[in-house]
Amino acid sequence: MKQFTLTLLLLIGLTEFTYAQNFYARRRDRNWALSAGIGQSIYVGELYTPLFDKSAGFTPNVGVGLRRKITDQLSVRFDINYYQIAAADSLAAQASFTLGGGDQENDSRNERNLSFRSHNFEFSSQFIFNLIPIDGPYSYRPDVNIYAIAGIGVTTNNPRGLDIASGNMVNLRKLNTEALEEPYSGLALVIPLGMGIRIKANQFTDIVLEGTGRITFNDYLDDASTLYPSEQEVRDYHVANGTGLADLAARMYDRAPEKGFGEREKGSIRGNPEYNDYYFFFQVRLEMYLSDTAFGGIFASKKTARRLR
């Protein structure tokens, strides 16, 4: 984080120095802005619930974005984020929260002993609505502006787990640990929603603080969603499909024996399909306004492009 702060200050100073003497650059509007930043991610699902669990569950993320101004309050941003999410039943609070309810078997997450880690890429388009309109060119923007975010995107989804027997991290999606007819998809639709604060650092640069959540329409970010199958059902799937992963899948679908607990019976609760998984980003970004010539020649007419040059 210290290195990022130093880099941030260096880039702000560089842009200020580069354009300090350029009077026309200050007057001309800049409709494109490039951003990059780092932050922390947090997952919420069957293996982690912030209200009950001991671990904060934060993991790193990095992202880049390209924003285009549409009106004095509305813009659209195209984002690419690399992020990690992770959780483990061993970090769950043991006293107060258990899965299940009604006439179903209560299954302590500590006994369930599932865990995962996932390294994902997310691609999204996001609409950004400024609280304060920006009348005139970008240089007239306020020193501080709050904005709302809503969009749509897609994320990769390949949770991995540690195989104690081999000491290797293995792809849980390929193991089909709940013996589904077909393994869940390696991609998931996401809806980013959130808020941000844009702080003017100098004429051409903003510091952005952003918090966003993702509605995922997916309950397998953590590889747990429904009920335990039998070990035979897990093996039969891999034998029928010739994956060669039957023994590994049999070890990974039920992790309770690793902690000395009995094997989970078929139909025991492994997850809760009524609620999808979520994840959240908290990021600090540096956003730099690009000159008209950066993209003007691509989208403008030939006459306008010549004028911009």
Per residue in 20-51, pLDDT (tens digit) is 445 445 557 799 999 999 999 999 999 988 87
Q: Per residue in 53-89, pLDDT tens?
A: 766 679 999 999 999 999 999 999 999 999 999 999 8
What are the tokens at 70? 């549409």
For residues 31 and 290, what is the distance between their CA atoms, to the nearest angstrom?
A: 8
Q: Distance between CA 88 and CA 161 in Å, rounded?
A: 10
Residues 89/136, Cβ–Cβ less than 8 Å:
no
The phi-psi region of residue 203 (left if phi > 0; otherwise alpha if psi is between -120 and 50; otherwise beta) is alpha
DSSP codes joined into one string, 149-190: EEEEEEEE---EEEETTTTEEEEHHHHTTT--SSPPPSEEEE
- Name the percent of the chain lying above pLDDT 70: 80
Tens of pLDDT, residue by residue over 275-284, are 999 999 999 9
* Largest pairwise CA distance in the chain: 76
C-beta separation of 56 from 42 below 8 A: yes
Amino acid at 262: G
Mean pLDDT over 99-107 rounds to 40
* Prediction pTM value: 0.83
Rounded average pLDDT over 126-136? 94
What does the pLDDT read at residue 55? 67
Mean pLDDT of 211-216: 97
What is the enclosing helix (H) or strand (E) of 14? helix 2-19
